[in-house]
Amino acid sequence: MIGRLLIDYHHRAIHLPRTRRVAGALATLIESEVQSVLDVGAGDGRVSAEIGRRIDATEVRGIDIAARPDAAIDIAIYDGLHLPYPDRSFDAVVLSDVLHHSPDPEGLLRECLRVARCCVLLKDHLAFGPVSQKLLWLMDVAGNHATEVAVRGTYLSLEQWFELAERAGGRIAAMRWPLRIHDLPWRLLTRSELQFAARIEVKSR
């Protein structure tokens, strides 16, 4: 009974507000018409489903290393790095809190830029030193304790994010920071200044 109440509370007070705010932030970064969206590392698919609803996309699909029975969109399985799609297959690609879990963030971002016609919509974390690194790691452990997602602790500074985008063949064209994704009291832990959303565009084809 208590476990069920805690799960319901987490869903209502933490998960749903986060989904709406992340999706809203990413949707506002879109500057051109987007009809098709691929959500890489989709999880339950609710972030991209909400983005699709907000922009009236005609196609929203996901891909992940494992299937979720409660997914809000159709999700294919992949190896965590190589996207099984031709170049420029989707208008936009979503990466929501995925790259800091990847064993090869640069390689995965390069793949996302390859299959994107318009842009990659990124939500992730900013680290400002050892204290924020530790806080982000603790939040990651707590947030992923019920999943099989690897917590690698790869949290980048703002300069490192710009460098990563450049190495992957893109550029950060727009950014929303700080990004409020939780209400009080949880915002005291998740810290809006540690959260950001960005639009990454391909430098050249």
pLDDT at 11: 47
What's the whole-number average pLDDT of the chain?
A: 90
Annotated domain spans of the chain: 2-202
pLDDT at 6: 42
pLDDT at 1: 60
Of all residues in the chain, the percent with pLDDT exceeding 70 is: 89
Say which DSSP state 187 is in. Answer: H
Predicted confidence band of residue 187 (pLDDT cuts 50, 70, 90): confident
Q: Which amino acid is at 159?
A: E
Q: Distance between CA atoms of 169 and 140, rounded to whole angstroms? A: 28
pLDDT at position 143 over 80: no
pLDDT at 8: 52
Give the CA distances from residue 67 to residues 43, 44, 78, 102, in Å, rounded to whole numbers and listed in that order.
8, 9, 10, 17
Does residue 13 or residue 106 have the better pLDDT?
Answer: 106
Predicted confidence band of residue 9 (pLDDT cuts 50, 70, 90): very low
Q: Distance between CA atoms of 81 and 110, rounded to whole angstroms? A: 10
Give the CA distances from residue 108 to residues 4, 19, 20, 37, 131, in Å, rounded to whole numbers and listed in that order.
36, 23, 25, 16, 27
Query: Rounded to two decimals, what is the model's pTM?
Result: 0.90
pLDDT tens digits, 41-81? 999 999 999 999 999 999 999 999 998 888 999 999 999 99
pLDDT at position 101 over 50: yes
pLDDT at 147: 66
Q: What is the CATH number of domain 2-202?
A: 3.40.50.150
Q: Distance between CA atoms of 103 and 80, rounded to whole angstroms? A: 9
pLDDT at 2: 52
pLDDT at position 154 over 60: yes
* 200, 109 Cβ separation under 8 angstroms: yes
pLDDT at position 22 over 70: yes
